Structure 1
Amino acid sequence: MTSASTSHRESFLVPSQLDGVGEVLARFERLRSAQINDTLWVEGQTALMEGFSNAVRHAHRDLSPPPPVAIELSRTSVELRIQIDDHGPGYDMEEAWRQLDREQASSDYDPLEREAHWGLVLLRQLQRQRGWQITYQRRREQGYRLSISHRIDPLPSQAPSGAGSGG
């Protein structure tokens, strides 16, 4: 049985403008829990900011007026999840990652020469090296959904239950 304190979910719309970042971060902060370690938390914030800024700068770039970005944030006792819905034409993220993998496998690859698409690199690193689940799929309605999630591992306890010197 889970208690109400072990889960939180928020769905909201943010104007498609980069200055909406403050609101997005403030709402994400409401999910904070002692159960989530600092590294996982920062990775989640980073992925959220990248997804939101991509919706504003790329997906909604040619839409006038740009529709709001729909965001759903949730935390349970076992998972942290971010969903960002945009109204753009989308792109093939899996193919973009395959191309990135080919570039990085090249013997003459120099990451410092990369001029664009750093968010793609970042999300790929979170997926490959940090265990984040990331998908970008067409919605039934117009647009696409970026889903980003990670399992929440229990934090090691400071001391076994009943142990300690009292005091």
Structure 2
Amino acid sequence: MKNKIYLKVNTDLTALPQVLSWFEQMNQPPILDKQIWWQCQTLLMEGFTNIVEHAHKNLPIETPIEMEAVRLDKYIEIRIWSQGKPFDLQHKLRQTSEFEENEQDRGRGLKIMSAIADKLSYEPTVDNRYCLFISKVIYEGSGEWGVRS
């Protein structure tokens, strides 16, 4: 099974309900483990919020954010493309101690994403953008499927 969806929205946190509604398509057929589905939604929300608040911080609201989600048999992949400045995700994750309380609470969203994603990266693309890549395993096992048919 493979399902692929695409969405483009403005750099605006008020688009978050639209983003989550769009992402609901990835839960068909439903993932049996509700916590896994909640984690997938959390990864998308944190990723989108980080792009709006950090990568696109000084860009016009009309700056597009493009998203793609792909559901395969055992995992969901989320890609969010931004037009922000270079950012070293791995360096930032090493820099921010585990859920530390700092003056601005910076880096907590990245730590949450790092803790629940199976793969997480932020890499430059050939068209001068950056791609936040998130992968989450939705099924592990050797018999029963993690989804209802």
Q: Per the shorter chain, which TM-score range?
A: 0.7 to 0.9
1:3 paired residue number: none
Task: Count the aligned residue pairs.
Answer: 142
1:30 to 25, 28, 32: 25
Measured on the aligned residues, the alpha-carbon RMSD in Å equals 2.2
CA contact under 8 A between 2:83 and 2:128: conserved in structure 1?
Answer: yes
Equivalences for residues 10-159 of structure 1 within 5 A = 10-32=5-27, 33-64=29-60, 66-100=62-96, 103-104=97-98, 111-113=100-102, 115-127=105-117, 132-153=118-139, 157=144
Q: Which amino acid letter does the alignment assign opposite residue 43 of structure 1?
A: Q
Distance 1:68 1:133 in 2: 24
Q: Which amino acid letter does the alignment assign opposite residue 111 of structure 1?
A: E
Scaled by the length of structure 2, the TM-score of the pair is 0.84
Instruction: Tell me the CA shift for residue 94 of structure 1.
Output: 0.8
Moved more, 149-158 or 136-145: 149-158
Change (3 A) 1:149 1:36: farther
- Any unmatched runs of 5+ in structure 1? 1-5, 105-109, 159-167
Q: Percent identity over the alignment?
A: 26
- Any unmatched runs of 5+ in structure 2? none
Runs of 4+ in structure 1 displaced over 6 angstroms? none
Distance 1:136 1:78 in 2: 22
